[in-house]
Amino acid sequence: MSQVKKVTMPLTDEVVSTLKAGDQVALSGVIYTARDKAHKKFVDMLNAGEELPVDLNGQLIYYAGPTPAKPGQAIGSVGPTTSSRMDAFAPVLMDKVGLKGMLGKGPRDKGVVDAMLRNNCVYMVAIGGTGAAISHSVKEAEVIAYPEYQSEAVRRLVVEDLPCIVAIDSEGNNLFEQGIAQYKQD
């Protein structure tokens, strides 16, 4: 079993380059949540020449819409959502504002992978259905933009050892493709 790589945010080109498809990662530091509505709003703002409500340079967006926190918790269940819903928007965020990491679940399209290669970016996955367990890694949570989007509001999370796996690395190695190829060989 491979050793877990501890990664502290923000992401640098050097750190991203060391992360390889299949690596187990424990993320710590500040990350942001955003889903479809926020991504569309971000891209619309960028296309209009406006500044985003958060500086995403060197940052990671977690595709999640958490549930409300119970007393004594920083956040409720915070499992990953399907990443492909952000595929139309992710390349713009990598190209225009320096987004370095994404965390969600499921495969990504060719446009996203091409943008990752251009921008030395990494895509990680968390296991769906583990939102309650993942919530224990969140030490602080604050809505920083679009509170009207409720669970899809943009949140700033402070995380400690949030477990994830590198699914697509900055060289384009892709666990989703490797897994299919390996299955066909067996």
Rounded distance between C-alpha atoms, residue 21 and residue 39, angstroms: 25
Q: Which amino acid is at 106?
A: G
Is 136 assigned a catalytic role? no
**Active-site residue (options: 32, 33, 39, 174):** 39
Active site residues: 39
